[in-house]
Amino acid sequence: GAVVSQHPSWVICKSGTSVKIECRSLDFQATTMFWYRQFPKQSLMLMATSNEGSKATYEQGVEKDKFLINHASLTLSTLTVTSAHPEDSSFYICSARRGAEIREQYFGPGTRLTVT
């Protein structure tokens, strides 16, 4: 199979602090990972594309200084929400692409972030 994990599954933090979310491909190497944000009962919104060993590519309207992405290895990408505010509260989902095929994308279980 192709399993992607995320850690933590949920996190509560205080306004102004930073929080890091990890995305790991457990049984395959992923040169490309994707980070999505999702609001209740809505579709996934792509935030950024993370490529191993290079800078992430952010979608229009996503603040790269606020959402720091690091793809340090072929099995790990991290998303750090810096100086979090209540409006950053959301469900964050990562996916990892196995190989070159676009459809070979496998999703993590998501991380629920609540900023108080």
Partner 1 sequence: TQLLEQSPQFLSIQEGENLTVYCNSSSVFSSLQWYRQEPGEGPVLLVTVVTGGEVKKLKRLTFQFGDARKDSSLHITAAQTGDTGLYLCAGGSGNQGGKLIFGQGTELSVKP
57 touches partner 1 by CB under 8 A: yes
- Tell me which amino acid residue 44 is: L
- How far apart CA 46 and CA 37 sit, in angstroms, is 6
Q: Please identify which residue in 17, 29, 73, 109 interacts with partner 1, judged by CB under 8 A.
A: 109
Q: Which is nearer to partner 1, 42 or 54 (CB)?
A: 42
Toward partner 1, which CB reaches closer, 57 or 82?
A: 57
108 binds partner 1 (CB under 8 A): yes
Residue 107 interacts with partner 1 (CB under 8 A)? yes
Amino acid at 40: P
Cβ proximity to partner 1: between 5 and 82 the closer is: 5
Q: Three-class SS of residue 28? A: coil
Instruction: Work out whether 67 is an interface residue with partner 1 (CB under 8 A).
Output: no
Strand 111-115 vs strand 10-13: parallel, antiparallel, or unpaired?
Answer: parallel
Residue 14 touches partner 1, criterion: CB under 8 A: no
Output the six-digit token pair for 60: 């229009």
Would you call the peptide bond into 8 cis, given omega within 30 degrees of 0 as the criterion? yes
CB atoms < 10 A from the CB of 102, how many? 8
Does 26 participate in binding partner 1 (rule CB under 8 A)?
no
Number of residues that bind partner 1 (CB under 8 A): 25
Contact flag: residue 44 with partner 1 (CB under 8 A) = yes
